[in-house]
Structure 1
């Protein structure tokens, strides 16, 4: 995790991530973005789907709805290195700074870290407060 330096969420603590490029799966995008933003590498086969979250910002018309795919991994190579995008470092689970993250994070990340796959829809009020959310049962594979 680290402090995002640019783009949506700049100034907040966040996980590395980005957009899925044409022809990529979400897992391939995660592996690519992790390397680009942290210099760490992970094999796509070592990624475990962890959450599928849709974010809506009805009060911010210039922001599109977002669907984010989150993954976990326990096998990787390298150590986190700060880039132009994010100032990353290891953060112990007990020290996750939820008060410095997107408001929704506290609603799903603890369950992901406990091993649950989370599917959620989140509507924001303005740019920084959750107005409402719905946890939905995971889709059958």
Structure 2
């Protein structure tokens, strides 16, 4: 049986750009990614997403402005822990993206996404994010660089996805 750890991932987008952060330390160091992290005890997932965004980029996103657009599940060969990642997007924020101890924020045009410096799975699901589609994806890795298998499916909405998941 897998143990589940819940994480958040937030992307701020404009019509033609997305804000990514270069991870400076810890898990994912030297990779471009969204902003996020662990959900703390007694914290809602959406509050965690908002908190992590501020901690890692110095910009404020209100929980009410975050749209849950994806659910990602990551498993790793030989590891009993599944990373359960809730992905949010928004185009509303306050402040200026600023370097922190953990992340270096930078805007990228949609056609200049640095896939070679991101997690291997990003090239499969990131186009859904850029198009504003809701989706569910599952990736199974060997180590952190080799995807053994994956599944991505577009869903009508995350609300509908979670309702259906609850029924089964």
The TM-score with structure 2 as length reference comes to 0.77
The answer to whether the 8 A contact 2:74-2:83 is kept is yes
**Structure 2 gap ranges (5+):** 1-19, 156-160, 164-168
SS at match of 2:107: coil
Q: Which runs of 4+ in 1 moved over 3 A?
A: none
Report how many residues are paired: 139
3-state DSSP class of the match of 1:65? strand
What aligned pairs does 1:87-98 form with structure 2 within 5 A after superposition? 87-98=104-115
Q: TM-score, normalised on structure 1?
A: 0.91
Superposition RMSD in Å? 1.6
Q: What is the Cα deviation at residue 135 of structure 1?
A: 2.1
- Match among 140, 155, 158 for residue 123 of structure 1: 140
Give the Cα separation in 1 of the matches to 2:128 and 2:115: 14
Is structure 2 residue 39 aligned with structure 1 residue 20?
yes
**Larger relative strand fraction:** 2
> Partners in 1 of 2:87 and 2:126 — Cα distance?
10
CA contact (8 A) 1:38 1:81 kept: yes
Q: CA deviation at 1:137?
A: 5.8
Distance 2:92 2:130 in 1: 15
Counterparts in 2 of 1:98-113, with a 5 A limit? 98-113=115-130
TM-aligned CA deviation for residue 140 of structure 1? 5.0
Segments of structure 1 that go 5 or more residues without pairing to the other structure are none
| Whole-angstrom CA distance in 1 between matches of 2:145 and 2:49 | 24
Q: Distance in 1 between matches of 2:162 and 2:102?
A: 35
Find the aligned partners of 1:91 and 1:41 in 2 and give their Cα distance.
19
- The answer to whether 1:29 aligns with 2:56 is no
Q: Does 2:21 match 1:2?
A: yes
Matches of 1:33 and 1:75, distance apart in 2: 16
The offset of 1:19, in angstroms, is: 0.5
Tell me, in whole angstroms, the C-alpha distance in 2 between the residues paired with 1:28 and 1:86: 19
The Cα shift of 1:129 comes to 1.9
1:58 and 1:8 map into 2 onto residues whose CA distance is 17
